[in-house]
Amino acid sequence: MEHYYHISSKRFRLKNGEIVLKPKKAGPNRAISEPKIARTCVGPSVPHCLIAVGDLAVSKTHKIYVYRTKNPIKGRNCIGVVDAHITQERWACRATKFVLVRTIKVDEELFGHLRQLYGLGAPHGFTCQKEILPLLKKYCKREINES
């Protein structure tokens, strides 16, 4: 069991410093080929979450809200998510408490990294994701003290 992260371009209304995210069968950052299984998509780190959504959730003017599970959970392995071997995406398939841990203002550097993923499908996207992930890890370590 471990803590996982979830990112969103939406700032959720917190109650007592937390939000309960309920699994959904559809979401704005899911590929149409992904199964319609109710879940909240989570990752082991902020860079992994960023590489999972790529350019879909960001623009130069957006902020990214970073939520972390309030308590450690057992993330469920993905089914039918073609890039999970890179993103290390897991699913929270039950209502799960999250806390807001930081807000990232999308700057030119971050936008530049994520923009490279625009419109890439498998397998070309995999190569790009693998190349960008280390850059995002360095960026997050430097800019938001996150590995």
Residue 67: φ, ψ to 5°: -115, 145
Give me the pLDDT at residue 59, please: 61
Give me the pLDDT at residue 87, please: 93
> Would residue 145 be called left, alpha or beta, if left means φ above 0 and alpha means ψ between -120 and 50 degrees?
left
C-alpha separations of 113 from 50, 55, 135, 136 in Å: 10, 9, 8, 7
Q: What is the mean pLDDT of residues 88-105?
A: 96
| N-terminal to C-terminal alpha carbon distance within the chain | 18
Q: What is the pLDDT of residues 50-61, one digit of tens each?
A: 998 877 656 655
Specify the pTM. 0.91
**Burial class of residue 99 in the structure, from the number of CB atoms within 10 Å of its CB (0-12 exposed, 13-18 middle, 19+ buried):** middle
**From CA 85, how far away is CA 29, in angstroms rounded?**
17
Q: What is the mean pLDDT of residues 64-90?
A: 94
The answer, yes or no, to whether residue 138 has pLDDT greater than 80, is yes
Token match 């498998």: residue? 122
Q: What is the pLDDT of residues 102-118, one digit of tens each?
A: 999 888 888 888 888 77
Give me the pLDDT at residue 58, please: 66
**From CA 88, how far away is CA 137, in angstroms rounded?**
14
Q: What is the mean pLDDT of residues 11-35?
A: 90
